[in-house]
């Protein structure tokens, strides 16, 4: 059966939509107009054209004096009736005119892949002729209006509104008029509320329902089990809760069932799952499911993808999994699964390409049957309790590209390297924290690994030297040999690895002077060399700690980490050649001499750690020109003279300079002069006197009587002033500044209650070609954006979240984080009340009944957009400024 594909960038999936009625689109191409189009229809099309601000060149074809049936993108029947308007990816901008609803014979409307904005005209949804409506991948916004209950039945079969900016409650009664619906794709919007419960009873032919990447809440409607023809059900990346309803498993035609990244919980019922015999994809990853994987999983003979990672599943991997002979992907990472993998006969899975069992508690050895999976491209068994040696049969995996075995108890690294070198397609080899206390393989005849890009053998306590065979890995981009017991110098051939940009040999016992060949590494000298890196993505994400994950090799920062060794001598002056270097760590060595002036040429540098050496002389003053330096440490040396001021130096912690008794500066007890405002180890930022203190004082630290509270006009004035201050550092300053600690106590008020954004002690500059700065997790509880807990990067969007919290404080008078444990946190409480349409109840009681409710609710809408969990849905500061300045005019 042919399928029509809806592309969805966020879901990273191809959405196949059954061709019931959709193959009729092919008939459009077969229609050959004979009669001219009717004047009324021509007028409707010209009205559509007139309401576009960018027509993508349509005006050249759409001329008033010509037959509209011959216009670009228009198809007519032989009687001249327009049946199709097909204008995908034409560069159209502007609003969709409701005049298209006048086209009484229009069956197919495709405006996808443009930049159209505004709402979706109700006339299109209520059309008595349109069967296929595709407006995906635009910038349409607002709510999707409900059709009146009195509307007669509509012929719509396919509705694709995915990847727009729609928000508000998803329609529930509209579908009662659309009994012919086959497919609904509303993914990648911001719809809220519950999933409609009656979809299947009103649209019995529904075959595809895609609601992923929205903000749906509540539980999964049991009524979805009544969809006897439903083949694809996707609702991942929402806020759904509860369990999988038993009735859902009555939808026995399901081929794709996907609910990842929600809050679902409970056990997975085996007898229920066995009802879905047609299932090809089952994705329940990143929820809170628990219990065992049911043996009945083996009855899903058509299953190709099984995603249950990032849950709380326990028990053994059922042997019946080997009955799913069509499996291609098995993702069970980050659970509590245990037992031996040998219980599963992997030789029955000839199509298996990806097996991800990372972060479980499996024991025993790698099953020999696994090496029969000749199509395997990605294998991750890291962070388990496996042991033994690698089998020579791993060489049977000719397509293996990604292999991660780290944090187990494997032995005999020499044997492992000799076996794996024949894996010619291997690009990523991660075997850290195994082979403990063994000797680093030094066999000079080791060759192979011709496509290897990432090699990680850290944390093994290997002894020996950096081996010569690594010099033959001509495509190597990342080398991690950290936390071993390696001795000797860094070999001179290091610069012959022309793709190498990430070197970590920290925590070893390496000796000698810093080799000058390190200063000649091509990838660290010029950005032009980066074009030679392989752009292919990892077969599986590579995790760096609990928060960061990488899908592309080139996403890693350029790094040279030689810390915790026994290097001696001077830091070479030639280090200034490494213009692309982002992270440089030479700490805990025995380096001497001065900090070379040339290090100030490393304008991309974000981290510089020279601590715990024997460095002398002054700190180069030009280091304060490294605007993107977010971490700096020269403690425990013998440096002297003044600490540079200005630039990023005003943000570094005092401990960065400890252990250098000859240093002086305002951040230290030892002052260089008397012009510094300091006390002990403290530093002070000096502001104009703010007569009215901070916003926090007025909202949370005043008496309870109404006379001491701020009225609404004053609060609105403060909101406007603070937004203008934030817009200055986000949009006027060059480079842009991310504040990282926007909160009510950092908004100061003068005698006229004019607001000033203050305290830039945590601020960072942002490179012009970047969207964030990598940093430690900082900020104030209640104001920290949720994404900061997943990746330690600070962004302008993070500031917008914090500012949204401030707006909510102004509206509610409540603290972001309650003082009493019985109270609710501000942001989730407001969002819940808003979803229940109880917005007025969140407003500060002292402000209610003052006549400003309409203004306050407008500000509330702006605030809720700012605290959107999806950082990419948050408005820019200029959008918020524009909203606020228009309130109260």
- 3-class SS string, 173-212: CHHHHCCCCCEEECCCCEEEECCCCCHHHHCCCCCEEECC
3-state secondary structure at position 826: helix
How far apart are the C-alpha atoms of 156 and 96, rounded to whole Å? 18
Res. 731: pLDDT tops 60? yes
SS3 content of the chain, % helix, strand, coil (to 5): 25, 25, 50
What does the pLDDT look like over 471-511, one tens digit per residue?
999 999 999 999 999 999 999 999 999 999 999 999 999 99
Are the CB atoms for 455 and 473 separated by under 8 Å? yes
What pLDDT sits at residue 252? 95
Directed axis angle between helix 853-866 and helix 826-835, to 10°?
120
Domain annotation covers residue 506:
yes
Q: How many residues does the chain have?
A: 889
Burial (0-12, 13-18, 19+ Cβ within 10 Å), 768: exposed
Q: What CATH number is attached to the domain comprising 338?
A: 3.80.10.10
Segment 29-38 mean pLDDT: 56
One domain for residues 630 and 513: yes
3-state secondary structure at position 150: coil
Res. 807: pLDDT tops 70? yes
Domain annotation covers residue 181:
no
HSE of 215 in the Cβ direction (CA atoms, 13 Å)? 22
Q: What CATH number is attached to the domain comprising 798?
A: 1.10.510.10
One domain for residues 724 and 834: yes
What pLDDT sits at residue 790? 55
Q: Calculate the alpha carbon distances from 876 to 52, 119, 191, 858 in Å.
A: 25, 21, 20, 17
One domain for residues 38 and 93: yes
Q: Calculate the alpha carbon distances from 105 to 80, 84, 130 in Å.
A: 10, 8, 8
Final residue in a domain of this structure, among 630, 657, 683 = 683
The strand pairing partners of 747, in sequence order, are: 757
Res. 776: pLDDT tops 50? no
Q: Which run of H or of E encompasses 363?
A: strand 361-364
Region at 99 (left for phi over 0; alpha for psi -120 to 50; beta for the rest): alpha
Res. 619: pLDDT tops 50? yes
How far apart are the C-alpha atoms of 466 and 878, rounded to whole Å? 53
Number of domains the chain contains: 4
Burial (0-12, 13-18, 19+ Cβ within 10 Å), 34: exposed
Query: Which residues are tagged catalytic?
Result: 741
One domain for residues 839 and 725: yes
Q: How confident is the model at residue 7 (pLDDT cuts 50, 70, 90)?
A: very low
What pLDDT sits at residue 19? 37
- The least confident of 630-639, 812-821, 833-842 is 812-821
One domain for residues 669 and 765: no
Domain annotation covers residue 394:
no
Q: How confident is the model at residue 808 (pLDDT cuts 50, 70, 90)?
A: very high
One domain for residues 602 and 700: no
One domain for residues 86 and 107: yes
What does the pLDDT look like over 282-312, one tens digit per residue?
999 999 999 999 999 999 999 999 999 999 9
Domain annotation covers residue 452:
no
Q: Is the dihedral of CA 411, 412, 413, 417 positive or negative?
A: negative
CB atoms within 10 A of CB 838: 11
Final residue in a domain of this structure, among 683, 708, 737 = 683
Res. 806: pLDDT tops 50? yes
Res. 539: pLDDT tops 90? no
Directed axis angle between helix 712-727 and helix 796-812, to 10°?
170
- Chain-centre distance of CA 59, in angstroms? 40
Q: How confident is the model at residue 9 (pLDDT cuts 50, 70, 90)?
A: very low
Q: How confident is the model at residue 745 (pLDDT cuts 50, 70, 90)?
A: confident
Per DSSP bridges, beta strands 478-480 and 502-504 are parallel
What does the pLDDT look like over 74-101, one tens digit per residue?
999 998 899 999 999 999 999 999 999 9
Are the CB atoms for 463 and 440 separated by under 8 Å? yes
Q: Could you give the percent of the chain with pLDDT greater than 70?
A: 87
Q: How confident is the model at residue 32 (pLDDT cuts 50, 70, 90)?
A: very low
One domain for residues 665 and 789: no
Region at 613 (left for phi over 0; alpha for psi -120 to 50; beta for the rest): beta
Q: Is the dihedral of CA 312, 314, 316, 321 positive or negative?
A: negative
Instruction: Tell me what the pLDDT averaged over the chain comes to.
Output: 86
Tokens at residue 311, please?
């849950």
DSSP string for 640-698: EEEPP-SGGGGGS-GGGGTT-TEEESTTSSS-SSS---EETTEE-------TT-BHHHH
Domain annotation covers residue 17:
no
Q: Which pTM value belongs to this model? A: 0.73
845: domain range?
A: 695-885
Domain annotation covers residue 437:
no
- The least confident of 281-285, 461-465, 814-818 is 814-818
One domain for residues 751 and 835: yes
Final residue in a domain of this structure, among 348, 376, 404 = 376
The strand pairing partners of 288, in sequence order, are: 265
Are the CB atoms for 455 and 479 separated by under 8 Å? yes
One domain for residues 515 and 634: yes
CA angle 143, 145, 150 (to 5 degrees): 165
Domain annotation covers residue 204:
no
How far apart are the C-alpha atoms of 637 and 402, rounded to whole Å? 42
Domain annotation covers residue 444:
no
One domain for residues 637 and 726: no
Res. 637: pLDDT tops 90? yes
What pLDDT sits at residue 823? 55
What pLDDT sits at residue 705? 45
Are the CB atoms for 223 and 198 separated by under 8 Å? yes
Q: Could you give the percent of the chain with pLDDT greater than 90?
A: 59
Per DSSP bridges, beta strands 409-410 and 402-404 are unpaired
One domain for residues 663 and 714: no
């Amino acid at each position: 059966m042919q399928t029509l594909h809806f592309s969805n960038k966020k879901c990273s999936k191809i959405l196949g939509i059954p061709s019931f009625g959709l193959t009729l689109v092919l008939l459009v191409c077969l229609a050959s107009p004979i009669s001219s189009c009717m004047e009324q229809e021509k007028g409707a099309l010209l009205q559509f054209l007139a309401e576009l601000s960018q027509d993508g060149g349509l005006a050249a074809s759409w001329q008033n004096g010509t037959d509209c049936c011959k216009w670009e993108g228009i198809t007519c029947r032989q009687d001249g009736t327009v049946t199709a308007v097909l204008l995908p990816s034409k560069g159209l901008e502007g609003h969709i005119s409701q005049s298209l609803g006048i086209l009484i014979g229009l069956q197919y409307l495709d405006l996808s892949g443009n930049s159209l904005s505004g709402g979706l005209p109700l006339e299109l949804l209520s059309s008595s002729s349109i069967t296929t409506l595709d407006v995906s991948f635009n910038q349409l916004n607002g709510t999707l209006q409900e059709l009146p209950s009195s509307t007669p039945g509509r012929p719509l079969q396919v509705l694709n509104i995915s990847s727009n900016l729609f928000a508000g409650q998803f329609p529930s009664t509209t579908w009662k008029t659309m009994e012919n619906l086959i497919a609904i794709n509303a993914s990648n919007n911001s719809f809220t509320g519950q999933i409609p419960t009656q979809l299947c009873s009103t649209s019995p032919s529904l075959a595809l329902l895609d609601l992923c990447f929205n903000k749906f809440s509540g539980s999964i409607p049991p009524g979805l089990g009544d969809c006897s023809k439903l083949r694809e059900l996707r609702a991942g990346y929402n806020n759904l809760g509860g369990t999988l309803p038993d009735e859902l498993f009555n939808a026995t035609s399901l081929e794709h069932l996907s609910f990842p990244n929600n809050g679902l919980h409970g056990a997975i019922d085996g007898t229920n799952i066995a009802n879905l015999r047609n299932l090809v994809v089952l994705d329940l990853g990143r929820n809170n499911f628990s219990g065992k994987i049911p043996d009945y999983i083996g009855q899903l003979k058509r299953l190709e993808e099984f995603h249950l990672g990032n849950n709380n599943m326990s028990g053994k991997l059922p042997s019946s999994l080997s009955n799913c002979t069509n499996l291609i992907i098995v993702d069970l990472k980050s659970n509590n699964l245990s037992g031996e993998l040998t219980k599963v006969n992997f030789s029955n899975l000839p199509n298996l390409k990806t097996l991800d069992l990372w972060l479980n508690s499996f024991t025993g050895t790698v099953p020999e049957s696994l090496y029969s999976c000749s199509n395997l491209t990605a294998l991750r068994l890291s962070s388990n309790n496996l042991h033994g040696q690698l089998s020579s049969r791993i060489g049977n995996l000719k397509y293996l590209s990604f292999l991660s075995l780290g944090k187990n108890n494997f032995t005999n690294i020499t044997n492992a390297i000799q076996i794996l070198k024949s894996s010619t397609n291997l690009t990523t080899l991660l075997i850290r924290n195994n082979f403990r206390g063994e000797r680093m393989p030094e066999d000079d005849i080791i060759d192979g690994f011709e496509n290897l890009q990432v090699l990680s053998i850290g944390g093994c306590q290997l002894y020996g030297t950096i081996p010569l065979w690594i010099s033959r890995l001509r495509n190597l981009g990342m080398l991690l040999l950290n936390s071993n017991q390696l001795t000797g110098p860094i070999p001179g051939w290091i610069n012959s690895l022309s793709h190498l940009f990430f070197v970590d040999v920290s925590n070893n016992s390496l000796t000698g002077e810093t080799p000058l060949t390190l200063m000649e590494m091509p990838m660290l000298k010029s950005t032009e060399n980066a074009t030679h890196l392989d752009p292919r993505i990892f077969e599986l994400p590579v995790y760096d700690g609990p928060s960061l994950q990488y899908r592309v090799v080139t996403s890693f920062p350029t790094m040279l980490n030689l810390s915790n060794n026994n290097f001696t001598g001077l830091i070479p002056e030639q280090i200034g050649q490494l213009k692309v270097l982002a992270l440089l760590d030479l700490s805990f060595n025995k380096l001497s001499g001065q900090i070379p002036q040339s290090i100030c040429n490393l304008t991309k540098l974000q981290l510089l750690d020279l601590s715990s050496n024997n460095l002398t002389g002054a700190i180069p003053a030009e280091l304060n020109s490294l605007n993107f330096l977010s971490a700096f440490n020269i403690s425990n040396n013998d440096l002297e003279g003044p600490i540079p001021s200005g630039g990023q130096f005003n943000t570094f912690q005092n401990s960065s300079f400890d252990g250098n008794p000859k240093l002086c500066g305002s951040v230290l007890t030892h002052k260089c002069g008397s012009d510094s405002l300091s006390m002990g180890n403290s530093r002070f930022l000096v502001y104009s006197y703010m007569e009215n203190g901070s916003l926090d004082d007025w909202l949370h630290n005043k008496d309870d009587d109404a006379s001491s509270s701020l009225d609404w006009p004053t609060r609105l004035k403060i909101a406007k002033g603070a937004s203008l201050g934030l817009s200055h550092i986000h949009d006027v300053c060059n480079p842009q500044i991310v504040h990282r600690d926007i909160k009510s106590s950092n908004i100061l008020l003068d005698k006229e209650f004019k607001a000033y954004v203050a305290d830039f002690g945590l601020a960072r500059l942002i490179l012009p070609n970047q969207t964030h700065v990598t940093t430690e997790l900082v900020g104030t509880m209640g104001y920290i954006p949720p994404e900061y807990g997943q990746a330690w990067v600070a962004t302008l969007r993070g500031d917008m979240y914090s500012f949204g919290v401030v707006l909510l404080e102004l509206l509610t008078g409540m603290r972001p984080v309650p003082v009493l444990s019985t109270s609710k946190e501000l942001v989730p409480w407001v969002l819940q009340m808003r979803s229940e349409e109880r917005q007025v109840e969140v407003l500060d009681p002292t402000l209610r009944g003052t006549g400003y409710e309409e203004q306050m609710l407008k500000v509330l809408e702006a605030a809720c957009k700012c605290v959107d969990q999806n950082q990419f849905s948050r408005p820019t500061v200029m959008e918020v400024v524009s909203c606020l300045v228009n309130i109260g005019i």
